[in-house]
Amino acid sequence: MKKLVQLSLTTLIALAVVNSECNFPSSLWCSSTEIAKACGVHEQCKEEFKTDPSAGPVNLTLYYEFLCPACRNFIQEQLYQTWRELGNHVLNLTLVPYGNAHEKKDIFTRKWKFECQHGTEECIGNIIETCAINIIDDINVYFPFIKCMEAKDTMPDKAAEKCANAMKIDLAPIMSCANSDKGNLLEHEMALKTEALRPNQTYVPWITINGVHTEKMQDMAQKDLLSLICDTYKGTPPKVCHRHIQEKDFVEKRGHCLK
């Protein structure tokens, strides 16, 4: 946490403890105006809200699974549009397709076997999207492809084919990866990232902002992600942030795929 405006951490803790709305770790109290207000330390954090032209983007990681309706809703209704409007210089996005799956190693083949919440097709979709991330290696191409797949109400291989054709993406290397040892290992890496989460992931979509997850932050992200990212970003806010703050109208759209 940056040095907080001439106030000791003890003082800030005392201010936050009396406010029942504050369930954020102390390292986040001055990370955004909404969190500072919730923790009763907005005045004390004012210096932190000054813009920094050299500030890096907000890091958002989405842990999700292919057939989870709540994940699809978040991608379609919140994440994709926010990413498009803010761009990579404001929002650094990482996608982790694994979710509520489980893995174990086959003692004979030495490959990882995955069991997914919504069945085998979900596992296939997760691996195809994981391979797309690895093979394409450009979020400006693979995220629209994944968003397209998530919007299709069909089998993952058919969804991948339709989206690849529409976007003129060479699907062959992606599917080759998905059916190979490489794809198996890449999905294992997604499992490791998910299992390393602290606190442990208990549902999807599971969202972290700058490496941190709280229930209140999750609520904010699923209600109005654009406002949350604009509020958290330390650089000079783009015009879309000012426009959205003036026009925003919260619409509750929250759901989880529980383990």
Quick check: is 74 in a domain? yes
Residues of the chain with pLDDT under 70: 1-21, 27, 31-34, 46-51, 53, 245-254
* Last residue of one domain, picked from the residues 156, 175, 204: 204
pLDDT in tens, 121-176: 999 999 999 999 999 999 999 999 999 999 998 999 999 999 999 999 999 999 99
Supply the pLDDT for residue 211. Answer: 96
Domain count for the chain: 2
Q: Partners of 62 in the beta sheet?
A: 95, 207
What distance in Å separates the CA atoms of residue 118 and residue 68, rounded to the nearest whole number? 8
Supply the pLDDT for residue 46. Answer: 63
And the tokens for 253? 């759209």
Tell whether 67 and 13 lie within a shared domain. no
Tell whether 80 and 142 lie within a shared domain. yes
Supply the pLDDT for residue 251. Answer: 45
What distance in Å separates the CA atoms of residue 125 and residue 35, rounded to the nearest whole number? 36
Quick check: is 44 in a domain? yes
Q: How far is the CA of 185 from the CAs of 19, 61, 127, 196, 255, in angstroms?
A: 46, 20, 10, 16, 30
Tell whether 81 and 181 lie within a shared domain. yes
Tell whether 32 and 73 lie within a shared domain. no
Supply the pLDDT for residue 19. Answer: 57
Tell whether 146 and 114 lie within a shared domain. yes
Supply the pLDDT for residue 250. Answer: 45
Tell whether 66 and 167 lie within a shared domain. yes
Supply the pLDDT for residue 44. Answer: 73
Quick check: is 193 in a domain? yes
Tell whether 143 and 178 lie within a shared domain. yes
Quick check: is 227 in a domain? no
Quick check: is 242 in a domain? no
Quick check: is 104 in a domain? yes
Tell whether 89 and 17 lie within a shared domain. no
* Last residue of one domain, picked from the residues 50, 71, 90: 50
Tell whether 66 and 178 lie within a shared domain. yes
Domain of 13 in residue numbering reads as: 1-50
Tell whether 9 and 45 lie within a shared domain. yes
Quick check: is 258 in a domain? no
Residue that is written with structure tokens 């397209």 in the block: 148
Quick check: is 233 in a domain? no
Supply the pLDDT for residue 159. Answer: 98
Helix axes 156-167, 120-136, angle to 10 degrees: 30
Tell whether 37 and 164 lie within a shared domain. no
* Last residue of one domain, picked from the residues 204, 226, 250: 204
Q: What CATH code is carried by the domain that includes residue 154? A: 3.40.30.10
229-258 as b/e: b if 16+ CB within 10 A:
bbbbbbeebbebbeebeeeeeeeeeebbbe
Tell whether 96 and 181 lie within a shared domain. yes
The single-letter DSSP state of residue 180 is S
